[in-house]
């Protein structure tokens, strides 16, 4: 299964926008309760965005004839792995949330 280049670019920009906004204007009811997890999550998402940006830059350099194909393939593979990992974590978090919501009070 292949993701179109524009879809990947849109995903990177959306993630970057979410990180840069940081939920501006919204109050978090859990402020002070788990800030470490929130910062860890933000750093992880930022890492995925940075990996994607690096891959995009190398692809553009390759089009200009300034980058090695091996470096580009490696960067794209790293980006794919990072995105797959992020999706897996997201799926596990959603699954855990759904499990918690099914618990009786």
What would the pLDDT profile of 29-63 be if each residue is shown by its tens digit? 555 555 687 888 888 889 999 999 999 999 999 99
Rg (CA), the chain: 17
At residue 54, the pLDDT reads 94
Give DSSP secondary structure letters for 57-105: HHHHHHHTT-S-HHHHHHHHHHHHHHHHHHHHHHHHHHHHHHHHHHS--
What would the pLDDT profile of 11-26 be if each residue is shown by its tens digit? 666 666 666 665 444 4
At residue 100, the pLDDT reads 93
Report the share of the chain in percent with pLDDT over 90: 50
What would the pLDDT profile of 66-91 be if each residue is shown by its tens digit? 999 999 999 999 999 999 999 998 89
Tell me the domain boundaries of the chain. 46-105
At residue 39, the pLDDT reads 86
């Amino acid at each position: 299964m292949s993701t179109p280049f524009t879809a990947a670019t849109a995903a990177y920009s959306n993630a970057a926008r979410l990180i840069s906004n940081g939920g501006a204007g919204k109050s978090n009811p859990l402020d002070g309760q788990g800030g470490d997890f929130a910062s860890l999550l933000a750093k992880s998402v930022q890492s995925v965005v940075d990996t994607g940006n690096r891959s995009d830059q190398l692809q553009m350099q390759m089009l200009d004839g300034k980058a090695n194909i091996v470096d580009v393939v490696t960067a794209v593979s790293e980006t794919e792995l990072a995105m797959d990992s992020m999706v897996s974590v997201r799926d596990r978090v959603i699954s855990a949330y759904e499990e918690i919501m099914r618990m009786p009070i």
